[in-house]
A and B are shown apart, each in its own frame.
Chain A
């Protein structure tokens, strides 16, 4: 940017002898523009006084004041005269005017500064742009030169290419020419060879004739004796029959060779067909069950029906074995189709895998690779654990089987399945035995009770008998006089009753004894149950009459 230096010079009004000078100086760097700038100078303090004295002296005060007034009024300021006429100056207005003028001056200065700043900026921008322009122009020049160079190279290469093409063509032409030359020479040589050969043949013929004519006795075979043939047979004359036979033999040899080859090929063919069939089946099984079958059926349908018409009832397998053209084509076409489907499927899977690998997960169809791996790891762990379990179980089983044992324990072991049952049975036995013991105890107690009861009854009967006797005696003394006939009957009856009772009691006593021994359980049990009931009563009321009666009666019933 340029350095600006200004020299300010005082500005004077036009009608005085003052000189207006506008000068400016500046130092600028070469590429920028030169310009003259007008600047309104600011008066320095020193020159101010001289300047002021130059304008207004003691003689022209009035004139200068009026001039100033005129100027101010034209500028829009109020008059500095007080009242319109007179030469009295309005100080206030003068001061106001001065102030206004100062404010105006400041404003103007500021504006000037701004303008200068902008001017500077524009100048620098312009410089910058000029530099850019210059650089771009340089670059343009360079690239133009480069282009020219490349074009030149391109032209050279193209011309080289053309020359090489031309050379190639020339070489090809030459090769062709040489080949033609070779072929022509070859035909020439062949021709010459043939000519020479013919000459040679003629010589040979001549020689042969000479040799044969000479009848050289030397051309002979001397042999001591003729040797038998290798196979022992005698030589045969050459006849037509032998000729025919030879032909036949030859054809036989050829035919056998062909047959052998054909057999080999048939075997190979059959094997390959089988392999293809297998492959086809496997491919179908590999492919996801999609719309293959409906596709196949309509295809096979019409052809199948045709073949079936031709051949009759054959299942599909047999048909493949025939070497019909159509069947063969069918097989190969179906294999190709299946293979294509399998390929597509595999490609799809590949794409899916690659997509998963790259990060895009399609959660509907595809399990992410990490999840898949985790799952497989889990499954593998499970499998491992199960295997280990199975192994340990097997080992234990083996151990058990292999451990040495004697017969009893083997029997026991063999019956190991019944162990539980045995245990259960033992439990039950135990219970049973306990119960049995209890019953024994009870039975003993009952027998004791019964014995006691018997004794008591006996005592009671004795008492009763004694009492009855007494009564009877007492009664009989009373009625001996009145009713002898009846009372004895009554007595007899009652005595009979007594006797019966006694008898029954005596009878009953015995059963007690007999019943105390081991008896079949059932009646004893029932009696026991009854006795239990009665014994409870008996234990509470051992001398109860009614109960024993009941008991006796029931017992009687039982025993009878």
Chain B
């Protein structure tokens, strides 16, 4: 585990170059590119304003830095540090910005979602997409980068436009039967588009690539509906997490529910393994105590080590019932993620914020529950193998794999509260982000003979 340098940055976003090698981090108005293995600064760029968002292009040659306040996007090249590009949206304002899959176009969403401008780095052409939908996931690219689906809203009705990314030609334009479209997501095979409605209405629609409605799924009426959706990597399953604390799995053949996973506060099934994080008091060697105590020693004294214990079933978890009169209540399934080998599904029930539920997809049963001491901030699967990394806002990162789970302390001086994490595409390392700092965690690969 190597710790990164301390950097005070606002809106720190760390993205790793997809093809290994470099990691970028931004600090206020400076963009720092480091080597992933040595954390040595390779490049340093200065932008015009405070950077809110950075993104690598798909071929890892360019980085875009978006400054929403100024409405400017600056693009930097890694090969040619002298090359520069600035896109100014002016009075149109900027709300979101992203790369196109080919790495040569930038899609800017103007303020109030007036339009999406497609700027090309190769040609002088500019394309506009009118009436984009102001929702969480309004733009979706297929995995192979060929098609882009954009959610639009005209005359109080939702539409979806499918564009060909190579020449930005409109392929299909059709309306959806949603009240208020909340999000769209392509299946990994690029042939089916999942569209779901606002949480006031439980409705999931599945459209084929050519715009035909394949199926509609409604679990119930009136109660709060879909909170999160995830496709399995093989496109076989669609997991729908809803506000009623259940995950429903649809299969790709009939688009009907094959099972639903409940998240009760008491786990009674004896076949489920429950790992509970417990604190273990740190062993202090009195001989090594010195005065004044060094920072490292101080931090290690005050930081509590933790380990996992296997709890005996039945286990009752801490259940929180949210206040009824607030919007967007903290209940229901807020996070869903399939493992890359399609064997496991990790979920988080916001009513039980300290637990990660891992389901075995082959058996369609609950496999493991990780009970943490603090609330789960985020988790992410290793892109190569069924290994889950979890962070709960303290200075530990937790790893689970079918072989077991481990709690790793980040050896940082001072407080390092991990808020989010991000795996490298090779699965060998991951970046742990706190509000101001980040650190890279390297995982050793075991030699299996």
- Tell me the A residues contacting B by CB distance below 8 Å: 179, 182-183, 186, 190, 193-194, 197-198, 201, 204, 207-208, 211, 214, 216, 218-231, 235-236, 238, 242-243, 246-247, 249-251, 253-254, 257, 261, 265
Contacts and interface: CB of A to CB of B under 8 A. Distances in A.
B156 A194 contact: yes
A120 B115 CA distance: 123
B338 to A, nearest CB: 19
Nearest to B121: A227
Contacts of A228: 122
A218 B90 contact: yes
Nearest to B127: A238
B83 A224 contact: yes
A208 to B, nearest CB: 5
A226 B77 CA distance: 12
Interface in B78-116: 82-92, 102-104, 112, 114-115
Interface stretch (B20-28, B29-37, B164-172, B437-445): B164-172
A260 B90 CA distance: 48
Contact of B112 (A204, A220, A238, A246): A204
A31 to B, nearest CB: 70
Nearest to B93: A211
Given A194-B156, A197-B156, A211-B114, A222 B88 contact: yes
A264 to B, nearest CB: 10
Contact of A229 (B77, B122, B164, B252): B122
B59 interface: yes
Contacts of A216: 90-92
A221 B122 contact: no
Nearest to B208: A254
Contacts of B208: 254
B196 interface: no
B58 interface: yes
Interface of B: 58-59, 62, 77, 82-92, 102-104, 112, 114-115, 119, 121-126, 146-147, 153, 155-156, 164, 167-169, 171, 179-180, 189-191, 200, 208-210, 222, 252-253
11 contacts: A193-B156, A204-B114, A219-B90, A220-B88, A221-B85, A221-B86, A224-B82, A227-B77, A229-B104, A230-B58, A246-B164
A235 B122 CA distance: 8
Contacts of B62: 227
Contacts of B114: 204, 207-208, 211
Contacts of B164: 246, 249-250
Contacts of A257: 189-191
Contacts of B209: 250, 253-254
A361 to B, nearest CB: 43
Nearest to B75: A223
B121 A223 contact: yes
A139 to B, nearest CB: 53
Chain A interface main SS type: helix
Contact of B171 (A223, A246, A261): A246
Contacts of B252: 261
Chain B interface main SS type: loop
Contacts of A225: 83
Nearest to A235: B123
A282 to B, nearest CB: 27
Given A194-B156, A207-B112, A207-B114, A247 B102 contact: no
A224 B169 contact: no
Given A198-B155, A235-B122, A253-B191, 14 more contacts: A179-B222, A182-B222, A186-B200, A193-B156, A193-B180, A204-B112, A211-B114, A226-B122, A238-B167, A246-B164, A246-B167, A247-B171, A254-B191, A254-B208
A356 to B, nearest CB: 37
By CB atoms of chain B within 10 A, which of A190, A194, A219, A265 has the most?
A: A219
Contacts of B167: 235-236, 238, 242, 246
Contacts of B58: 230
A218 B89 CA distance: 7
A197 B181 CA distance: 14
Contacts of B210: 250-251, 254
Contacts of A227: 62, 77, 83, 104, 121-122
A480 to B, nearest CB: 142
6 nearest interchain CB pairs?
A218-B90, A219-B90, A223-B85, A216-B90, A257-B191, A194-B156
Nearest to A217: B90
B104 A224 contact: no
Contacts of B153: 197
A503 to B, nearest CB: 115
A251 B86 CA distance: 38
Given A204-B114, A250-B210, A253-B209, A211 B169 contact: no
Contacts of A265: 253
A417 B382 CA distance: 74
A229 B102 contact: yes
Contacts of A183: 222
B91 A226 contact: no
Contact of A218 (B91, B125, B190): B91
B102 to A, nearest CB: 5
B396 to A, nearest CB: 40
Nearest to A191: B156
Contact of B86 (A214, A222, A247, A254): A222
A225 B124 CA distance: 11
Nearest to B167: A238
Nearest to B144: A253
A389 B90 CA distance: 100
Contact of B115 (A190, A208, A224): A208
B88 A219 contact: yes
A187 to B, nearest CB: 11
A551 B146 CA distance: 133
A224 B85 contact: yes
Contacts of A222: 85-88
Nearest to B126: A221
Nearest to B179: A190
A261 B236 CA distance: 10
A226 B121 contact: yes
A308 B131 CA distance: 63
Nearest to A194: B156
By CB atoms of chain B within 10 A, which of A227, A247, A254 has the most?
A: A227
A261 B103 CA distance: 31
B90 to A, nearest CB: 3
By CB atoms of chain B within 10 A, which of A214, A223, A249 has the most?
A: A223
A251 B122 CA distance: 28
A229 to B, nearest CB: 5
Nearest to B163: A246
A282 B171 CA distance: 55
Contacts of A249: 146, 164
A254 B192 CA distance: 9
Contacts of B126: 221
By CB atoms of chain A within 10 A, which of B83, B115, B153, B169 has the most?
A: B169
Contacts of A208: 114-115
A221 B73 CA distance: 9
B140 to A, nearest CB: 16
Contacts of B83: 224-225, 227
Contacts of B89: 219
A115 B167 CA distance: 136
Nearest to B83: A224
Contacts of B87: 221-222
A250 B147 CA distance: 9
A250 B148 CA distance: 12
A186 B180 CA distance: 13
Contacts of A214: 91
A211 B122 contact: no
Nearest to B157: A194
Contacts of A226: 121-124
A204 B115 CA distance: 10
By CB atoms of chain A within 10 A, which of B62, B114, B153, B253 has the most?
A: B114
A220 B89 CA distance: 7
Given A186-B200, A223-B121, A230-B58, A243 B112 contact: no
